[in-house]
Amino acid sequence: MFDLSGKIAVVTGGGSGIGRAISVLFARQGAQVHILELTESAAAEAATEISSAGGQVSVHACNVADQAAVLAVFEKIGTPKILVNNAGIAHIGNLEKTTEADFDRIFSVNVKGAYNCLLAAVPRMKADGGGVIVNMASVAALVGIPDRFAYTMSKGAIFSMTQSVAKDYLKANIRCNSISPARVHTPFVDGFIAKNYPGQEAETFARLEASQPIGRMARPEEIAALALFLCSDEAAFITGCDYPIDGGFVKLNN
């Protein structure tokens, strides 16, 4: 089950955190993984981990917000059977603390970046008889989270784009779903805590874990496992769906 042998899989932001876990797992399941990162060095450790285990991986330096760069990279890659739009950046602040530059930066990476990759991949998938897309949304698209105005906007767009692509490309045999994680323990979280709560790292980490009803943050590998299922033939009857993977955050945190 969950065999991806011989399939070309593109994972944006595949060098760290959730993206790295997805890249490693997909390669383990036989996929030819192509990681898109802003710089090649950002994916060096992930690529080494994959190749050391006998997996197939290529790294491409690409700013997903740059449409010409994205189209050029996909020319090199060829036709993917799987696209995981995972690349994204965060911003902390409510409406009044979000500058125009902040808003544009979040939109260009999180929304336009996904659009650019969809635009590059979907016509190729159509010509090749189909494919699978997973877009990384967030529980922020489903519920209000304090001080996440721009980030929430961007993930709401991902949620809606997923529905649109799934509807428009049903007859092209292209499935499109999204995943909405709650808080996941990644290097970003550790860096955020260290920067904003120096000397209070342990207490802050415990508080963030306790904010999830299940009592802890998710592990990147848990998100990757869901992505693998959605991209596998075992999920062939699933499209146009969003999957909260949130330790009960959306339904139980009231």
Spell out the residues 6+ positions from residue 150 whose beta carbon is closer than 8 angstroms to its own: 91, 93, 98, 102, 103, 106, 107
CA gap 138, 158 in Å, rounded: 9
| Residue type present at position 21 | A
CB 219 within 8 A of CB 185: yes
C-beta of residue 246 within 8 angstroms of C-beta of residue 212: yes
Cβ-based neighbours of 13, under 8 Å, separated by 6 or more: 19, 36, 37, 64, 86, 87, 88
From 115, 151, 169, 243, the catalytic residue: 151
Q: What is the CA radius of gyration of the chain?
A: 18
Query: Would residue 151 show up in a list of annotated catalytic residues for this protein?
Result: yes
Structure tokens at 68: 């010409």
Judge whether 152 and 215 are in contact, CB under 8 Å: no
Query: Could you list the active site residues?
Result: 151
